[in-house]
Amino acid sequence: MFWVKQLIKPFAVPPGCFVFLLLILGAVLWIRRQRRLGGVAAALGAAMWILSLPILSGALMVNLESGLSFPENPSGDVIVVLCAGGVPDAPDLDGRGRPTEGTIVRLATAARLYRTHPAPIVLSGGKPLYPGASEAELAARFLEELGIPPFAIRKEERSRDTWENAMHTARLCRSRGWDRPLLVTHGYHMKRAESAFRKQGFSVTAVPVSLHAAQVTHRSWTEWLPGDFRELSNALHELLGRVYYRWAYGAEA
């Protein structure tokens, strides 16, 4: 029964349900001799299926992360975390508002770094799309609940994107005399973030989060079933971001 559920589930929710409907529609039209329309419907369903495959998005992510690895003995005088969003109105244990899941993964890595390499933690993130608490404020509350002392946390609350993360964080670090940042962000985002910091005159030590396995030795047949577009969307967003940063700022990722 478990394997039956694994087979049915991807076709019961988007985009798998749309893949299923398009393939069925294509077959029906083909049988009714409307073969051109049937072919179009089937081709759309097949394209949607291929684009949603975890194998495809995983390969794109591995390419974006090429050359990155977790440093064996990271050393620096400040830990910089680039926030990845917040939900200021969401109910949470400490009241209202929480970091997004992407930010939480980065905060967990920063907390682990702090345990072994105590250094001030700079949380960089404003409130680009909503009123209320900034991304840095929500992240700071979360870190404090993980046991990081408030005196070790600094908030940079003006930035709205990666370029502004680098610009405002660089100013804060210079004002404090910090010049060896440990930069914490997702692996697929790291090269663009590094390039933005280089443009601000900072050389960072990359501490990439959630790196994908370059080689997967054991694959499951379920990876050939429709997935979702979340990881593909992140990969395409990053690719477009690199192109834009190269054009707008001359930043090579």
Please indicate, yes or no, if residue 131 is contained in any of the structural domains.
Answer: yes
Summarize pLDDT for 11-24 with one digit per residue, the tens.
889 999 999 999 99
Q: Worst-scoring range by mean pLDDT, 61-75, 184-198, 236-250?
A: 61-75
Please indicate, yes or no, if residue 205 is contained in any of the structural domains.
Answer: yes
Q: What is the CATH number of the domain that holds 135?
A: 3.40.50.620
So what's the pLDDT on residue 216?
Answer: 64
With helix as H, strand as E and coil as C, how does the chain read? Answer: CHHHHHHHHHHHCCCHHHHHHHHHHHHHHHHCCCHHHHHHHHHHHHHHHHHCCHHHHHHHHHHHCCCCCCCCCCCCCEEEEECCCEEEEEEECCEEEEECHHHHHHHHHHHHHHHHCCCCEEEECCCCCCCCCCHHHHHHHHHHHCCCCHHHEEEECCCCCHHHHHHHHHHHHHHHCCCCEEEEEEHHHHHHHHHHHHHCCCCCEEEEECCCCCCCCCCCHHHHCCCCCHHHHHHHHHHHHHHHHHHHHCCCC
Domain limits for position 85: 78-210
Please indicate, yes or no, if residue 54 is contained in any of the structural domains.
Answer: no
pTM, full prediction: 0.91
Please indicate, yes or no, if residue 1 is contained in any of the structural domains.
Answer: no
Share of the chain above pLDDT 70, in %: 98
Please indicate, yes or no, if residue 173 is contained in any of the structural domains.
Answer: yes
Q: How many domains does the chain have?
A: 1
Summarize pLDDT for 119-128 with one digit per residue, the tens.
999 999 998 7
Please indicate, yes or no, if residue 62 is contained in any of the structural domains.
Answer: no
